[in-house]
Structure 1
Amino acid sequence: MIIGIDLGTTNSAAAVFRDGKAELIPNSLGHNLTPSAVGIDDNGDVLVGLPARERQSTHPNLTATAFKRYMGAKRETRLGKKLFSPEELSALVLASLKRDAEAYLGEKVTEAVITVPAYFNDKQRKATRRAGELAGLKVERLLNEPTAAALAYGIHLLDDESQFLVFDLGGGTFDVSILEIFEGVIEVRASTGDARLGGEDFNDLLVNDMRYKFRDDWKLKSGEEDALREKLRASAERARRTLTNASEASMDVVWRDTAYSHAVTTDSFEALAAPLIERLREPVLRSLRDSQINAAALKEIVLVGGATRMPVVRRAVTKMFGRFPSQTVHPDEAVALGAAVQAGLKARDVALKEVAVTDVCPFSLGVATGERDASGHVRSGLFSPIIERNTTVPVSRIEVLSSLQDGQSEIEVEIYQGESRFVVDNVALGKLRVPIPRRPAGEIFIEVRFTYDINGLLEVDVHVPATGERRQLVIVDEDGPSGADLEKQRKALEALKVHPRDADTNRALMARANRAFENHLGDVRDHIARLISQFESVLDSQDPRLVERARTELSSHLDSLEGETWL
């Protein structure tokens, strides 16, 4: 069985294509979205999803979120006694989605199409693939999120030639893709974006604003930073969501047994957000330039990603294009549904007509070169693109280079990914050395061929015509484990004790109640304490009917205090 997975910064989701349509797979709580959160409970068990996220403000040192932003980076997060890499944390989320899918579908899930931001570089994509493998999945394909959203929109069902722009602003990343459909082919014409811009950054604006307001009251002691920040993050997220449909919201935080409140209006939030809104413009303009498509020729502007719910973002998009964007796809669910469509195409589902989906290379690929200046000195460290960004893949390109020094005995070919003129600002992918005859500078030429496929695999072939010498290199994940080491890492994650699925509902509710207790004072706090005690007593009875009734009552009380649980 193959499924589609949206591995998101804030939330993740799984979907399957069956009975002629894409269908979301609910998790153990019955929700279509699973928070991308991992935590360790008081017994050392692993919590994934809502039970983990609800503990973030009360147990910041035992909870991790937004780790997708660090995929491909050498960064570790300590949870309790164990250190986790971003791909290991992502693997725990993927494994949870896999278990939920198997429980829902009644069969084993072995393969997946996993989505990634269009602007993820090579290291980030390889880390995502490795996370899937650590979760016990064969990653059939990595699909760009805007492309998945387009499939969810249904452009694979259209017969006429059309061009679309997908504007995808999620919790941690921003992507823009322009797609064209013609004669059964969906071709991505351009993909750009900002891998460090999303809803979390808009939350940070509110967090920093409130911290500045109470800077004289909050003199933090050592070890208090994480605890305060997580309280503020949760309050900022709720306030930002409130501003979607209201003109004013309140950020309320209890710190050191004192209640603090900070009013946020639509106008004040938009003023804070102005620099971030401006950052949305350049990727849009770059995508139009790279695709050579005029904005007026676009049939639709499709909004995807939870952060596009913000009125300030929708107004900015409307202003950019001079028309209202399409809101026909669910911003949080479209990517997972599109991944399921791609999974259905991979499985050759009879309900899907033959559609070819092409993609592009999101970053330029090239080599480090040098040049002689007017005085004859060699200036090294320059980037020479061989495959430029937004070239349709699969693709093969060749570049001819020459020696720079008299008597060189070898040429070192350094491979990079990026857009900067200087390789130091780009991402190093690998290097190889090839021997050459010792001749005067410029007399020996080498042919460097780059071949890049649909799954992001880059093969480099270097040929020296003068000697017939040939060297090849396939860019692999040098930073990550492979073979036996990967299997060892997978088994170590598998051995972690994960909290049982059937207890997720009660654990998530208890975590939420304890968070509410910390966030209130006086009579309200006493009332919450009594509700928690009553619920714990009912849990001890192990009577399913009583537990269900008590859970409903406690949820209702918490909803009346702070609004419904958000995903």
Structure 2
Amino acid sequence: MAIIGIDLGTTNSSCGIWTPEGVKLIPNRLGDYLTPSVVGLDDSGNLSVGRIAKERLISHSDKTVAVFKRLMGTEHKIKIGNRFFSATELSAIVLRSLKEDAETFLGEPVVEAVISVPAYFNDNQRHATKMAGELAGFKVERLINEPTAAAIAYGLHEKQEGTFLILDMGGGTFDVSILEFFEGVMEVHASAGDNFLGGEDFVDAMVDDLLNQYSINRQSLAPAQLNQLLMQMETAKRRISSKALNPIQITLAGQQIDFQPDEAWFTKVVTPLLLRAKRPIERALNDATMSPQSIDDVVLVGGATRMGVFRSMIGRMFGRLPSCHLDPDCAIAMGAAIQAGLKAKDQALNDIVLTDVCPYTLGTDVVNESNNQGGYFLPIIERNSVVPISVTRRLVTVHDNQAQISVGIYQGENRLVNKNVFLGKVSIDIPKAPAGKEGVDVRYSYDMNGLLEVDVTVISTGKAVNKVIEHSPGALTAEEIEKSRQKLAALKFHPRDQESNRALIARGERLYESSLGEKRQQIAQLLADFDQVLERQNPPEIQKAAAQLETILNRLDNEEWF
């Protein structure tokens, strides 16, 4: 059975497999290596995933959703049409689509996957990602941090030695990792990041600034208007350094907007986000007790690192040009595929010893000895500790004849426990005794997948309880998991052979929504003609008409239609 590597991204997802010739990226049903992480439902309740769903974000915004990776590990429910989904379920739908594509491409079942997660994902989010893979039908024994996967893709592990900074900014998250390679060992010295900083935020900042200039409230815009503006700003972001930058022309809240973005405006608008990006970089350097001069190379991955302003900032910080010769959108999938090959013990790969770190401090709540007040955080596993790791701390009673000790499990960096993330609780009965005379040993064990196990043992009796963090916020009970499996199983993808034609129609509808006048009439006629060809069900005629329609839509999409 094949094991594939998957980059489950905020904006796009992709997958690959290790072969004797090296990494091979797996194309989706439309022949693309990137599948937009967008899910939608049509009027018949059938699923749309990827490019088709993305094209329908404007015309069917109430039935289409994107950027749900940011909600992983939370209890938030997302409405699509008249149905509600968790971020875990939506991610499972994307993974299920990738699984089908891989099985079609490889011609064999795919039951196991290595899935990438942001290094700064907390325990809740890692559990949610693992559950999404299992709901999609995968056996998920290994999660790999995205910067680690990127480093493997760049072949940094093949160097004799060196210290490298991996900067991964995708659509929704920003990860920073400092890795050292020596004698076949890849050791992560420090990880930091921002789970709410990515390319989508740069687009949002552009949109907000434009709306502020014209005194327009974002909430006053219809979903289709807002999505149209977001897509235009996304295009402007990609072309900001190009002479081919077109003006933004759109009608919003009854106002005709005619705005010419330029590089100076873009830099001013996104400077606060660039300053946010500097903080985790500085924090990782500080945690690793390193200076910019001690970094041998800086590697950029993630589509948002293509921005010139970001690369310029990194160049100024480190006094050198960063490495970015691999496709930043595919580097993580390539690294995950190599890790999948390692897991399969493929003889074509030299074995690598991977060491990772715990991105957050893990601890418990304790009483302050000086004033007998509770609510303080006791670190047990410090952030950026190399994993796997197991640490034991002893806790004693604070009251006479105390009959039970409850160990709260928290994650975070604040000295006040209520400002950290609650993960769960373990309670155990103890013999009654004077305060301080009875207690427990608390062991936290954190593994390579970022999953936490807690053991609490009574000192005097040896009685012990164990807890693997499973029911954190956003996690599913066994009953909920089975309900999710049934719900997702009932949802059907459209037949693969219809996918490319549906993608063309969705793209045409998106252009129709965004156009006016003669151009809109032209697109309407093109789609009507294509519908007639499809109704005749003549495969050669459909293939020819589809090629002609795609050529025309490519030309229309690149015109100054906005």
Q: TM over 0.5: same fold?
A: yes
- Over 3 Å counting, the alpha-carbon distance change for 1:32 and 1:404 in structure 2 is same
Whether 1:279 aligns to 2:289 is no
- Tell me the SS of whatever aligns to 1:54: helix
Contact 2:39/2:53 (8 A) holds in 1 = yes
Q: Secondary structure at the match of 2:58?
A: coil
The 1-side partners of 2:453 and 2:173 are apart by 28
1:41 CA displacement: 1.4
**Structure 2 equivalent of residue 446 of structure 1:** 440
Contact 2:292 2:317 in 1 (8 A): no
Q: Count matched residues.
A: 557
Closer, same or farther: CA 561–256 of 1 in aligned 2, 3 Å: farther
Residue ranges of structure 1 left out of the alignment (5+ in a row)? none
Q: Which deviates more from structure 2 when the two are superposed, residues 106-115 or residues 469-478?
A: 469-478
CA apart distance, 1:453: 1.4
SS at match of 1:460: strand
d(CA) in 2 for partners of 1:549 and 1:369? 71
Q: Counterpart in 1 of 2:415?
A: 421
* Structure 1 partner of 2:295: 298
Q: How does 1:36-435 map to 2 (within 5 A)?
A: 36-158=37-159, 160-215=160-215, 225-246=222-243, 248-254=245-251, 260-373=257-370, 376=371, 378-435=372-429
TM-aligned CA distance change 1:355 to 1:538, over 3 Å: same
* CA deviation after TM superposition for structure 1 residue 466, in Å: 3.4
Amino acid of the residue matched to residue 501 of structure 1?
Answer: R
- Equivalence for 2:13: 12
Residue 287 of structure 1 and its aligned partner are, at CA, apart by: 1.0
1:411 deviation in Å? 1.8
| CA distances 1:15-51 after superposition (whole Å, capped 9, x unpaired) | 0101231111001111100000001113221100000
> Which of the residues 452, 460, 465 maps onto 1:466?
460
Find the counterpart in structure 2 of residue 555 from structure 1: 550
- Whichever residue aligns with residue 518 of structure 2, its letter is D
**Contact 1:247/1:265 (CA < 8 Å) preserved in 2?**
no
Equivalent-residue separation in structure 1 for 2:105 and 2:111 (angstroms): 14
Following the alignment from structure 2 to structure 1, what is the Cα–Cα distance between the partners of residues 127 and 219?
A: 39
- The verdict on how the C-alpha distance between 1:256 and 1:44 changes in structure 2, with shifts beyond 3 A counting, is farther
2:509 counterpart SS class: helix
Q: Tell me the alpha carbon deviations over residues 338-377 of structure 1, each in whole angstroms, 9 at most, x when there is no partner.
A: 000000000001110121111111111100112144xx4x
Distance in 1, Cα, partners of 2:494 & 2:255: 34
- 1:318 maps to amino acid: G
Kept in 2, the 8 Å contact 1:259–1:521? The answer is: no
Per-residue Cα deviation, 1:234-254 (whole angstroms, up to 9, x for no partner): 111111111153484433435
Contact 2:424–2:471, Cα closer than 8 Å, also in 1? no
Deviation at 1:59, TM superposition (A): 0.8
Find the aligned partners of 1:501 and 1:210 in 2 and give their Cα distance. Answer: 41
**CA deviation vs aligned residue, 1:110-169 (integer Å, no higher than 9, x gap):** 1000000000001100000110011001113110000000010012222x1111110000
Secondary structure in 1 matching 2:493:
coil
1-structure distance, mates of 2:388, 2:238: 41
- SS in structure 2 opposite 1:55? helix
Are the structure 2 counterparts of residues 503 and 497 from structure 1 closer, same or farther at C-alpha, using a change threshold of 3 Å? same
Asked if 1:505 corresponds to 2:500, the answer is: yes
CA distance in 2, matches of 1:551, 1:257: 37
SS at match of 1:110: strand
The structure-2 alpha-carbon separation of the partners of 1:8 and 1:354, relative to structure 1 and needing over 3 Å to count, comes to same
Return 545-554 or 505-514, whichever deviates more.
545-554
Look up the match of 1:539: 534
Q: 1:132 to 1:340 in 2, by over 3 A?
A: same
Q: Any idea what the Cα deviations from partners look like across 1:456-496, whole Å, max 9, x if unmatched?
A: 23222223323444333222235533546424422321221
CA contact (8 A) 2:119 2:147 kept: yes
Please identify, of 467-476 and 327-336, the stretch whose mean Cα deviation from structure 2 is larger: 467-476
Letter paired with 1:184? G
Q: Check conservation: 2:124, 2:475, Cα contact below 8 A.
A: no
CA contact under 8 A between 1:394 and 1:454: conserved in structure 2? yes
- Name the amino acid aligned to 1:301: V
**TM-score, structure 1 normalization:** 0.94
CA gap of 1:258–1:294, structure 2 versus 1, over 3 A, is closer
Q: TM-score, normalising length from structure 2? A: 0.95
- Amino acid in structure 2 at the alignment position of 1:162: G
Matched letter for residue 449 of structure 1: R
**Paired letter, 1:143:** I
RMSD between superposed Cα atoms in Å: 2.0
Task: Give the counterpart of 1:490 among 476, 485, 494.
Answer: 485
What's the CA shift for 1:259? 5.7
Mean Cα deviation higher: 99-108 or 395-404: 395-404
Q: Is the Cα contact below 8 Å between 1:163 and 1:300 reproduced in 2?
A: yes
Alignment check: 8 A CA contact 1:452 1:458 kept? yes
Do 2:443 and 2:455's aligned partners in 1 also have CA atoms closer than 8 Å?
yes
Matched residue type, 2:531: E
Deviates more, 1:98-107 or 1:288-297: 288-297
Aligned partner of residue 261 in structure 2, secondary structure: strand
The gaps in structure 2 that reach 5 residues or longer are: none
Letter in 2 for 1:521: L
1:532–1:247 Cα change, 3 Å: closer
Describe the SS at the equivalent of 2:546. helix
CA distance in 2, matches of 1:120, 1:128: 10
Bigger mean CA deviation after superposition, 454-463 or 112-121: 454-463
- Find the aligned partners of 1:509 and 1:443 in 2 and give their Cα distance: 73
Q: Which amino acid aligns with 1:48?
A: V
> What is the CA distance between 1:195 and its match in structure 2?
0.5
Asked whether the 8 Å contact 1:254–1:520 carries over to 2, the reply is no
Change (3 A) 1:477 1:356: farther
1:233-279 deviation per Cα after TM superposition (whole angstroms, max 9, x unaligned) = 21111111111534844334355898633221111011010110000
- Given that 1:235 and 1:253 are in contact with CA atoms closer than 8 Å, whether structure 2 keeps it comes out as no
- CA distance in structure 1 between the aligned counterparts of 2:255 and 2:27, rounded to whole angstroms: 39
How many Å separate the matches in 2 of 1:543 and 1:254? 41
Matched position secondary structure for 2:531: helix
518-527 or 535-544, which moves further after superposition? 535-544
Cα distance in 1, alignment partners of residues 519 and 253 from structure 2: 16
